[in-house]
Amino acid sequence: MQTLLDVILPVFLVIGFGYVAVWRNLFPTEGIDGVMRFTQNFAIPCMLFQAIASMDLGASFDPGLLSSFYAGAGICFFLGMTGARVLFGREWEDCVAIGFCCLFSNSVLLGLPITERAYGADALTGNFAIVALHSPFCYGLGITVMEITRNRGQSPAVMARSVIRAMFRNALVLAIGLGFVVNFSGLPVPGVVDDALSLIVRAALPAALFALGGVLFQYRPEGDLRAIAMVCGIALVIHPALVWFFGTLQEVPRDAFRSGVLTAAMAPGFNAYIFANMYGRAKRVAASSVLIATGASVLTVWVWLSFLSGL
């Protein structure tokens, strides 16, 4: 119970403030959209750039951690896609969008603050390693499978252009790439620039959590409850269980293991809805899954934290 009070509830209270603020018309939806754009296009990219530019890549990118997390994520993507087709008879394009909901954990808005509150800022190295590859991996897999599904018979060159164009319009991907460039090149970031980035970074997570609450209010659940329940089960239970299994097999170090399991235990991120909206497929399932899984994760994350406390 103390873990729930100390680690999880503060994060979800900030989300709740945003939800109530929009619900009671204390904050306009246009303002929420603006805050979300600020966090996703500026503040969080600055945070990722700063973290990756200064990261000790040799110590951070544990192959066991990354293979455990992304093997689990890939399996969950295909489980969600296959389940939507076999169990619910959805069209293949819908199935890909539903699979993406099972794939894309909320690694930034939920994973970072919960891990930081549970284990401290020094424990975020594994999280940043996962986040560095998260958008490229998830969008690369999702867009590739969707383009193959939509463009059966088209040339590989057409599909490759679609994937590359979508990837390099994403601010998170660009910030991560620039961080790697600075890190590999050894170029120093001027002190005044680093200080300015730090000012923006301080606003990133609280503003993003508040905005997430406002966004979730706008996409209240309706219909498709069985498909939504499947997404929640895969995202909140199966993905972290797979990471636990693969991480144990590979003897991933304790701190990295905790980061991997906790990040996998997060609800689908809002990018799940962005992906569904981008293709106009399964939007109701995506929006409702984000909302319901985020609420349910208050309890499921508590359970996973309890399991991890025994390590």
Given a cut of 90, whether residue 33 has pLDDT beyond it is no
Residue 3's pLDDT is 55
The rounded mean pLDDT for the chain is 87
Given a cut of 80, whether residue 252 has pLDDT beyond it is yes
**Sorting pLDDT into bands at 50, 70 and 90, what band is 176?**
confident
**Sorting pLDDT into bands at 50, 70 and 90, what band is 284?**
confident
Task: Quote helix, strand, coil % in the chain, to nearest 5.
Answer: 80, 0, 15
Q: Enter the pTM of the model.
A: 0.80
Residue 247's pLDDT is 97
What is the average pLDDT across 287-299? 87
What is the average pLDDT across 171-190? 86
CATH at 15: 1.20.1530.20
CA distance 252 to 230: 29
Q: Which domain holds residue 113?
A: 2-308
Q: Is 26 exposed, middle or buried (0-12, 13-18, 19+ CB in 10 A)?
A: exposed
- CA-atom Rg of the chain in angstroms: 19
Tell me the per-residue pLDDT of 67-82, one tens digit each, with 9 for 90 and over: 999 999 999 999 999 9
| Vertex 54: Cα angle to 15 and 267 (nearest 5) | 25
Number of domains in the chain: 1
Residue 187's pLDDT is 86
Helix (H) or strand (E) holding 236: none
Three-state SS for 252? coil
CA 295 to chain centre: 15
> Are the beta carbons of 48 and 131 closer than 8 angstroms?
yes
Unique residue bearing structure tokens 């993406």 = 100
